[in-house]
A and B are shown apart, each in its own frame.
Chain A
Amino acid sequence: MKRKAGELILILAFYLLQVTLGSVIEIGGIKPNLLIILPVLFGFLHGKNEGMFVGFFAGFMYDIFFSGLFGFSSLVFVYIGYFSGVFYQKYEETEMLIPLGLLLAGNFSFGFLSYIGNFLLHNRLNVMYYISRFILPEIVYTLLIAVIVYKPVAFLNKKLEPRNKRRMSKVD
């Protein structure tokens, strides 16, 4: 319970940073996608269920005020959390490149799906322009932020673990 509450607060904090600080730190009109970082990291650090839980609520916040199609980001984020969870406990926590790779794949698919929904269906066929001007810069910026927040989130993930479980996982 404490864990879920902690995660929800983290999602809320990331959302607030995204909408308020986003316009300050944007470069060339591109701001990082902070919320997509969370399902990837929690999926990788704590399994599929956690990834899906965080993905659902992160997507929920992403969508709730600024989307014509409510639920779309949630859906994508849930799948991103699930697939990140596949790699849970397969790698050491210090292997930062694995979650970053997952984030790259996840963010690209999310960006591309958004492009299809928002623009391709409106007859904007200039795919390369949208990828190079919007999707790729966003991924690079997001990865940069992910490198910064990875350690704190991993630390928080450990902190949210109930004490007896922590001991058990040491026995494993």
Chain B
Amino acid sequence: MRKKFSSFMNSKYILIGLSALCLLFIATSFFTDRLTEPLRNAVSAVVIPVQKGMNYIGLWVSDKYDTLQEMTRVLEENKNLQECVDSLTEENNQLKQDSYELSRLRDLYELDERYPGYTKVGARVIGTSSDNWYSTFTIDKGSDDGIEKDMNVIAGGGLVGIISEVGSNYALVKTVIEDNSYVSGMLIDTGDTCIVKGDIELMDTGLIHLQGFGSNVTVRNGDKIVTSNISDKYLPGILVGYAKDITADSNNLTQSGYLVPAVDFGHLQEVLIITEKKESH
């Protein structure tokens, strides 16, 4: 009996079987999320809590690391005050740790004030995308916390992106710097519309494309670009970034250039999710 079974375990048959299975997955994922959704939920039940834990450990370590760096600096400065160094560093440690937390929370609060019209939920970033091609990330709130697909995500003064997928205890955020991201924007003072387009080839410069201005529009460096009122997913008036080097295109009908994002995408730890959606307007 055992021998018979093992003859079916010929690696070529397994290869064919697994290939067929994968092709089936690929084919279905073209059309629907039905198949992957239960799988995702099952895996996320295991993975997300662990990820959250690891994230907290990471934050704790980086906090400790920061405070350690701070401590050595203080020690150097106070070489002649050896006797009070011990008590000072101890106190300094504690205060620094608190103040990091405070300044981060204060930033979030300030942002909260700036867009007072929208109700928001805070969330922590707990994971980044598994490959280098995309800058999607995971946050620790999901449909259990009232997060839905297409909700806008902001942080540190500007637009981060949009919720692209939601599980019960996590959500994926697609950022505006991602290669296939298009956001409809406008100049804050005149309301001239444009398109903000992510591009992976500009990754090293920290810029993204800004295009589609009419030829009669004057755009200066540093002009604020906000999400436009004609966008179908983004709420109007959220700061996306600042215009840079806008020049006329070769067709002489449009102008394009670059945009400096308002958000520092390299160091995102907390984000705010606007729980209002555009459709409800």
Contacts and interface: CB of A to CB of B under 8 A. Distances in A.
Contact of B133 (A15, A78, A118): A118
A154 to B, nearest CB: 21
Contact of A19 (B23, B127, B133): B127
A122 interface: yes
B64 interface: no
A20 B127 contact: yes
A66 B134 contact: yes
B243 interface: no
B180 interface: yes
> For chain B, which range describes its interface: under 10, 10 to 19, 20 to 34, or 35 or more residues?
35 or more
B206 to A, nearest CB: 10
B83 to A, nearest CB: 38
B172 A52 contact: no
Contacts of B54: 16, 20-21
Contacts of B19: 75, 78-79
A38 to B, nearest CB: 13
Contacts of B132: 29-31, 134, 138
Interface string B25-51: 110111000011001100110110011
B179 A61 contact: no
A164 interface: no
B91 interface: no
Interface in A55-95: 56, 59, 61-62, 64-66, 68-72, 74-75, 78-79, 82, 85
A20 B39 CA distance: 21
B11 A19 contact: no
A62 B127 CA distance: 13
Residue among A21, A65, A68, A124 with max Cβ neighbours from chain B (10 Å): A65
B126 interface: yes
Contacts of A28: 204
Interface string A36-65: 000000000001110010001001011011
A109 interface: no
Q: What is the predominant secondary structure among interface residues of chain A facing chain B?
A: helix
Nearest to A50: B11
Contacts of B170: 65
A114 B133 CA distance: 9
B216 interface: no
Nearest to B128: A23
B253 interface: no
B223 to A, nearest CB: 27
B18 A29 contact: no
A20 B51 contact: yes
Contact of B130 (A66, A72, A129): A66
A35 interface: yes
Interface string A11-22: 010011011111
A69 B179 CA distance: 16
Contacts of A169: none
B23 A129 contact: no
Nearest to B52: A20
15 contacts: A15-B47, A16-B51, A19-B51, A19-B128, A19-B129, A20-B51, A20-B58, A59-B22, A65-B138, A66-B134, A66-B136, A71-B29, A79-B15, A122-B179, A129-B201
Given A33-B131, A61-B43, A68-B29, 14 more contacts: A20-B58, A21-B54, A22-B128, A52-B15, A59-B22, A61-B130, A65-B165, A66-B129, A71-B23, A71-B26, A78-B18, A119-B200, A126-B201, A133-B201
